[in-house]
């Protein structure tokens, strides 16, 4: 049985069946898997079998076992592109990015005209924040196969990461041209327009993304951000609340909700939203600083200074921020406030 035939056997519905295969290999290959689990792997085991068991381990998130199978397979067929690429995927999932890059590069050395290793290498370079390399690598993947939606979408995300939002729009538009019914590119295109300050276009893209997948909490939050940027705070609140309804353990959603309430001078609701954020991330300095602003807007000097001190203890940059933040303007000449701003951390 060839590797390709084995891989047609492995689909999402059969992974659990394949897990049984790992525990009792005779169900598939008439071989006792206990030999596989020993330190010595018999030479009469098919190399394809080693690969497919490694693939199964990987999909079952047993990555160390997958690595063992792939490496054993590569001792027999060291120039196998697919095994090197799969080994790279396993190292990627383990967070061993240097090893992952080496594995993908080895696959490319074996066959530089195949798309997948270039694509996977681009993913790891982006995770490593090697953005120039990620761009170059994704471009090579596109040159090999220009009809892959994911590559255009991922490349757009790299350009967002380097704040080239206008360029990212082009790549997201191309991804949408290839498949207009995928949620991610519409959401990401909204992010690109948001980065360009074009909130109306961003809203259109986010709404399209929600039409495709209405339970995407991050897009509901993105809609809230766009409305907040437009000064539509009541609408921002509605969309943050929808995001929280779907996923209530995201501190950023609660923090943004608090900001919108604060801008509407609904201070009690703002405080409860910030409290909810701090329950999730107790040392979130941004939330703590926002609470200081909240109390300052209410002319509560004691609490404003208390939370400002706490924020500064976590990040001294807030000393300068408070000097320029209009929320504290009424305290700028206050001796206690000045003492906090001039204190050494």
Picking from 78, 97, 120, the residue at the C-terminal end of a domain is 78
Query: What pLDDT shows up at residue 93?
Result: 96
Is residue 139 a part of any domain in this protein? no
Asked if residue 175 belongs to a domain, the reply is no
pLDDT top residue among 247 and 1: 247
Of 26, 98, 36, 91, which Cα lies nearest the Cα of 69?
36
Residue with tokens 């068991």: 53
Domain annotation covers residue 141? no
Quote the pLDDT of residue 52. Answer: 82
Average pLDDT value for residue range 233-244 = 98
74-92 pLDDT per residue, tens: 999 999 999 999 999 999 9
**Does a structural domain hold residue 193?**
no
Q: Which of 78, 107, 142 is where one domain is finished?
A: 78
pLDDT digits (tens, 9 = 90+) for 175-206: 999 999 999 999 999 999 999 999 999 999 99
* Residue 10: predicted pLDDT: 46
> DSSP string spanning 286-341?
HHHHHHHHHHHHTT-HHHHHHHHHHHHHH-THHHHHHHH-GGGGGGTT-HHHHHHH
Q: How far apart are CA 162 and CA 178, in angstroms?
A: 24
Q: Is position 47 within any domain?
A: yes
More confident residue, 19 or 261: 261
Q: Is the pLDDT of residue 3 over 70?
A: no
Average pLDDT over residues 240-246: 98
State the pLDDT at residue 20: 53
pLDDT value at residue 59: 84
Q: What is the pLDDT of residue 56?
A: 83
Q: What is the pLDDT of residue 50?
A: 82
Is position 17 within any domain?
yes
Tally the residues of the chain: 345
pLDDT score recorded for residue 60: 83
What is the pTM assigned to this prediction?
Answer: 0.82
Tell me, yes or no, whether 56 lies in a domain. Answer: yes
Mean pLDDT of 137-147: 98
The pLDDT tens digits for 300-343 are: 999 999 999 999 999 999 999 999 999 999 999 999 999 999 98
Range of the domain at 4: 1-78
Last residue of a domain, one of 78, 109, 125: 78
**What CA–CA distance (Å, rounded) separates 249 from 178?**
34
Please compute the mean of the pLDDT values over residues 130-146 and round it to a whole number.
Answer: 98
CB-based burial label for 118 (10 Å; 0-12, 13-18, 19+): buried
Q: Which long-range contacts (CB under 8 A, 24 or more apart) does 239-245 make?
A: 242/217, 243/217, 243/218, 244/217
**Does some domain include residue 134?**
no
For position 344, what pLDDT does the model report? 80
Number of domains making up the chain: 2
Q: How far does CA 139 lie from the centroid of its chain?
A: 21
């Amino acid at each position: 049985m060839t590797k390709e035939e084995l891989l047609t056997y492995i689909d999402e519905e059969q992974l659990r069946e394949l897990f049984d295969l790992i525990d009792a290999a005779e169900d598939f290959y008439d071989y006792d898997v206990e030999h596989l689990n020993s330190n010595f792997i018999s030479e009469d085991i098919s190399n394809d079998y080693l690969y497919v068991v490694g693939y199964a381990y990987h999909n079952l998130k047993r990555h160390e076992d997958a690595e063992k199978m792939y490496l054993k397979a590569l001792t027999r067929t060291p120039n196998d592109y697919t095994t090197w690429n799969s080994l790279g995927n396993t190292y990627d999932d383990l967070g061993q990015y240097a090893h992952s890059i080496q594995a993908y590069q080895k696959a490319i050395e074996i066959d530089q005209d195949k798309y997948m290793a270039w694509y996977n290498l681009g993913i790891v370079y982006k995770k490593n924040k090697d953005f120039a390399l990620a761009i170059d690598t994704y471009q090579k993947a596109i040159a090999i196969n220009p009809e892959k939606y994911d590559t255009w979408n991922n490349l757009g995300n790299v350009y967002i990461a380097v704040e080239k939002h206008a360029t990212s729009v082009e790549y997201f538009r191309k991804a949408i041209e290839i498949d207009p019914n995928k949620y991610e590119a519409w959401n990401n295109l909204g992010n690109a327009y948001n980065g360009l300050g074009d909130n109306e276009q961003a809203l259109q893209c986010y709404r399209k993304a929600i039409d495709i997948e209405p339970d995407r909490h991050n897009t509901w939050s993105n809609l809230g951000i766009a409305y907040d940027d437009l000064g539509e705070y009541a609408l921002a609140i509605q969309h943050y609340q929808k995001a929280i309804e779907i996923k209530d353990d995201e501190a950023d959603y609660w923090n943004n909700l608090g900001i919108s309430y604060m801008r509407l001078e609904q201070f009690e609701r703002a405080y409860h939203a910030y409290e909810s954020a701090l329950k999730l991330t107790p040392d979130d300095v941004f939330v703590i600083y926002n609470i200081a602003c909240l109390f300052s807007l209410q002319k509560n000097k004691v609490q404003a200074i208390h939370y400002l001190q706490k924020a500064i203890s976590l990040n001294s940059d807030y000393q300068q921020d408070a000097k320029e933040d209009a929320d504290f303007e009424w305290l700028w000449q206050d001796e206690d406030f000045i003492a906090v701003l001039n204190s050494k951390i």
